[in-house]
Amino acid sequence: MQKRKLGNSSLEVSALGLGCMGMSYGYGPAKDRGEMISLIRTAVERGITFFDTAEAYGPFTNEELVGEALAPFRGHVVIATKFGFKFGPNGEQMGMDSRPEHIRQVAEDALRRLGVDAIDLFYQHRVDPDVPIEEVAGAVKELIQEGKVRHFGLSEAGVQTIRRAHAVQPVTALQSEYSLWWRKPEDEVMPTLEELGIGFVPFSPLGKGFLTGKIDENTTFDSSDFRNIVPRFTPEARKANQALVDLLGMVAEREKATPAQIALAWLLARKPWIVPIPGTTKLHRLEENIGAVAVELGSDDLCEIDSATSEITVQGARYPEELERRTGL
């Protein structure tokens, strides 16, 4: 497995990470714990060293799962987790909370659940409009000085927030959605990351599964699956967006790859400081995703994909309105 550095930082990780959220949360019922531990350990054996979790996934159960799975590999893998939400007594999400005292408490809890001495990469999960980002960055800076956190990250933040945070404590990575069907980060965010030397960690690099080609207008999701409330996943939108999957399929056939591998290879070819974190709960999908690292798209391939996608208008918003308001601040 190739390695990449996240921006100008010293944090080196596998070119592809593993998003662990769906093992516990978001895409239907939580999966079998033993099977997921086995999958995470297989990922390590295949060369993946970068794992993504958050207290919000579950909540709390995903951190515990990742911590147990990676216990035999401490010191050889990088674990990213996140702070920024508050939860009720039954685990229900109750808005945002990035007050410095809360960040400190989340860090202590995450260290315990993950079973580590330090959090490798600690992201603010979403920008909190009620807490100045300078205070957030300052709180993480203190945790770094104390040796409890190694690197500071932001998730779905806009360029002004990134700049203000970076001035207080260097930001190692920004995590945001980025894929062939969500390219907005190219407008302002990516040039800012390049200027400041910040790595980029795209989540949902396969369009929440759509770019694999295994979802069509007739696909049904479990009642607890997040995609049921996503406008881009209405049957009408899926039918319209099939054109993008057809394009990937055409390129994949020529490259002797799969649509998912082309979607990931496209991201890897964009910048050397991009590290996608596709999530999966299936071994054969893990193997398929890892195979994307060996797919090299040349400049002609990239031009062809850009030209073809410029003719395709993706239908449907990527989030319901209330969730979209939490992004890009």
Instruction: Kindly report the CATH number assigned to the domain that includes residue 319.
Output: 3.20.20.100
Q: For residue 196, what pLDDT is reported?
A: 98
**What is the pLDDT at residue 329?**
78
Q: Which two tokens stand for residue 131?
A: 């807490």
Number of structural domains in the chain = 1
Measured distance CA(182)–CA(285) in Å, rounded? 22
CB distance 79 to 66 below 8 Å? yes
* Confidence (pLDDT) at 251: 95
Within-domain flag for 226: yes
> Is 212 part of a structural domain of the chain?
yes
Low-confidence ranges of the chain (pLDDT < 70): none
Query: At residue 72, what is the residue type?
Result: P
Query: Has residue 329 been placed in a domain?
Result: no
- Chain-centroid distance, C-alpha 3: 17
Q: Which two tokens stand for residue 145?
A: 């000085």
Residue 314 in any domain: the answer is: yes
* CA-based radius of gyration for the chain: 19
Q: Give the residue among 262, 268, 257 at the shortest CA–CA distance from 304.
A: 262
Residue 157 maps to a domain = yes
Residue 94 domain flag: yes
Contact 7, 154 (CB under 8 A): no
Helix/strand/coil for 230: coil
Please give the C-alpha separations between residue 129 and each of 71, 157, 172, 243, in angstroms, as whole numbers. 36, 11, 22, 38
pLDDT of residue 55: 98
How many Cβ atoms sit within 10 Å of the Cβ of residue 315? 16
Residue range of the domain that includes 111: 3-324
* Whole-structure pTM value: 0.97
Has residue 24 been placed in a domain?
A: yes
Token couple for 201:
């960690």
Let me know if residue 297 belongs to a domain: yes
Strands 18-19, 50-52: pairing kind: parallel
Active site residues: 57
Chain mean position to CA 201: 6
**Confidence at residue 326, expressed as pLDDT on a 0 to 100 scale:** 87
